[in-house]
Amino acid sequence: MMDLDGPWFIERATNRTVLFRGVNVGGGAKLPVGIPSHVNDGYWIDHDRNISMVGRPFPIEEADDHLQRLVVLGFNLLRFLVTWEAIEHEGPGIYDQQYLEYVIQLLDKCKAFNLKVYIDPHQDAWSRHCGGSGHPGWTHSLVGLNPLNFQVTNAAIVHNLYPEPDQFPKMIWNTNYQRLAASTMFTLFFAGKIYAPKCHVNGVHVQDYLQSHYFRAIEALTNRIHQHGGLEDTTVLGYDTMNEPGQGYVGLLDIRNLRDNDLDFKKGLMPTAFQGMVLGSGYATHVQNWKFTWSGPKKVEDVYVDPQGTSAWLSEPELEAADRSFGWTRSDAWSPGCIWALHGVWDKETQTVLQPHYFSMNPVTGEPADYSQHWIQFLQSYAKMLRSIHREAIIFVQPPTLETPPKIPTSLPRLVYAPHWYDGLTLVKKKWCSYNVDVINLSRGKYGTGPMRFLRALRLGEKAIRQCFVDQLATIQQEGWDNVGPYPCILGEIGIPYDMEPAKSNALQVLWGWILFWCVYSETGQASVIGTPEAPQNKAMDANLNALEANLLNYTLWHYVPDNDPIWGDRWDGEDLSIWQSEGPPSYGGSSRTLVDEVSHGKYKKNPDISPWNDESDLESASDDQPTARLIPDTNVRDVISLHRPHPWKVAGIPVSIQFISPTNRHHAAYFFTYKRREDELVSGPTEIYVPTCHFATPESDDKKKTKISLSHGYWECKVINDHYWILLWWVDDKEAGSQFELKLECI
């Protein structure tokens, strides 16, 4: 059981502070079996009902191997992705029992490996059908949309409908939040009763219909976990609200303009809300074209777009067929075609705007629109549903990404603020630059107004960039404290793109890199110079993790995809952020692994200890009845050095500071950790620190490199787990003088 005490997770049995170092498992769960996002075969046949996500993110028979990899890397928490589509893809109220059983089996595996989990109902830009992931295809049919026509009408940019999927622009999928399909769906889901009052189906408003089915789908999973027994609170700590929810059109000041924020991500063709409605009904119009620059998005030109009469909305016969298929009866006032024309926002005959400020206020009361009110109502209903089953479930609160969170009612207990943050410049440009921008504080007004604020937010050089990351996460963390409440903060997503441009080096750096590669990395099986200290991936990862540690933040990295592909990356919308890529063919759908007994760099021996976490705190070796890693994972060709770093899993007090100095071509690694006593609180058990042997050999090792351990107080013990990591147990007697204690690890 996990308690919450201010900013800390507390292990109830021992009163020790828990710091979570976790990973998302994983992006592969966004996709049905055999249908990566670039594949068009079988797309949108029978409303995409006949799909399966059993075996995503990986088959159950491979789970031991995958979970063992994550244990070896020092992770003690999984953000466990599920989707509404996976549960209810066949139609409203029809739940995929095989998928629910698969999830239970996988959670049992997590329990066996002593990994904590929180469930993430994941979505991006509503669904796969409008260029994202998450929600069932039938939801589009419900509101009268036709996904086959989203690409040509610019209602969404869809990978498998793109003319050349291998040329799909990087990160352009994120612009789908602002396009017709996703904007319509989110508006109806969160605020449809206000902005689309004519849309009733089967006697209820479409907003209630959508939300109730979302709740019931997650409720079906929550009930299965509850009825299975032994998973609540011990393994499953709680539930995310909804991954990166969209605001739809709610709060849009003028449908003739893009949102009045020059920091909003814009790339490619960017229709305004009105232009999107016009295009969605088959009419031609001019649309702005944008590119991404160092200071943010810049408009390039206007482009004439002509869908030639093709509509993103179902025709009357198509809508009637969908209604018969799913048993829907619509209100007489809900006619086929554009919902927003139906409600008088614009006129199809003249293609003119009638109510440009329709979404900026409540059309009934005239009060300013406030998306946060709708989202908080959703949060309250969602939490009530969950806690009617899992009574002490922690709710991981996630409002729209990168936005300041709204004030959460104090009546909601046991919350954790779970925002996301990425270094957007690196993510979009796919390179580690010598400059960056303090985007979060820029968007919060720290640097004033006008064009000069971009220069004031500019950071030059690696040291300034690293501090910039620290500052941004500090702001995010403080906003959670101020608005969500005095609760822990966990970065639900943070990560780096691995498909980055190689770093530019001078001749001396190139020579040193080759010497290092051939004399060191080639001996240990390292397959790529991505594993060298100067690799841009290593620098980016180290800067991200350093910012998390500097703020003492819990986190779950984005992400682990075992079937990550050298060509298609994560197999979803051109992204490539997986911390793992096999040197051979992807393991999903076929294995190229072999049984081995010897351990080499990046490979794991059979039957290692599987316990990164032990509730009894005895840290005994794995017993015969525990699962074993039966097959040996292939070498990870993106084995970034800085990902391997010590981490305090459990602390016999309150953490004060963490600093890891990643090894470079000239310096060995070093690690510093400080904590203080918990005042008037009895703590049992030692501080437990995960230590990777690639940087810090076990004290009794005969390795040429030795580990020097320095303590300000107490004594230490070494618990050897396997050839890849060990646990440092640090004991400080309650009677020892001092209230703050320091540890230092040095590779000498």
Asked if 721 contacts 113 with a C-beta cutoff of 8 angstroms, the reply is no
Distance CA 609, CA 516 (A): 32
- DSSP string computed for 95-155: --HHHHHHHHHHHHHHHHTT-EEEEEE--BSS-GGGTSBSS-THHHHHHTB-GGGHHHHTS
d(C-alpha 510, C-alpha 515), whole Å? 9
**Catalytic entry in 85, 493, 549, 575:** 493
CA distance 651 to 683: 9
Are residues 601 and 526 in contact, defined by beta-carbon separation less than 8 angstroms? yes
Cis peptide before 713 (omega within 30 of 0): no
232, 244, 549, 688: the active-site residue: 244
Question: How does DSSP classify residue 590?
Answer: S
Read off the tokens for 118. 């929180």
Query: In the structure encoding, which two tokens stand for residue 14, read together?
Result: 């021992």
Centroid of chain to Cα 647: 21
Give the 3-state secondary structure percentages of the chain, helix then strand then coil, rounded to 5: 30, 20, 50
Q: Which residues contact 597 (CB under 8 A, 6 or more apart)?
A: 605, 606
**CA Rg, the chain, in Å?**
26
Q: Which DSSP helix (H) or strand (E) runs through 435?
A: strand 435-437
Buried b (16+ CB within 10 A) or exposed e, 405-440: bbebeeebebbbbbbbbbbbbbbbbebbbeebbbbb
**Cα 559 from Cα 575, distance rounded (Å):** 11
Amino acid at 284: A
Q: How many CA atoms lie within 13 Å of 461's alpha carbon, on the beta-carbon side?
A: 2
Residue 575 designated active-site: no
Crossing angle of helices 273-280 and 180-195, rounded to 10°: 100
Q: What is the dihedral of CA 190, 193, 196, 202, to 10 degrees?
A: 100
Contact 255, 249 (CB under 8 A): yes
Among 43, 54, 66, which residue's Cα sits nearest to residue 564?
A: 66
Burial of 134 (0-12, 13-18, 19+ CB in 10 A): buried
Contact (CB, 8 A) for 315 and 322: no
Residue whose tokens read 């960017």 = 270
**Token pair for residue 602?**
């990046």
d(CA 397, CA 395): 6
Q: Which residues pair with 269 in a beta bridge?
A: 289
How is residue 555 annotated by DSSP?
E
C-alpha to C-alpha distance for 443 and 609, rounded to whole angstroms: 46
Q: Is 244 annotated in the active site?
A: yes
Positions annotated as catalytic residues are 244, 493
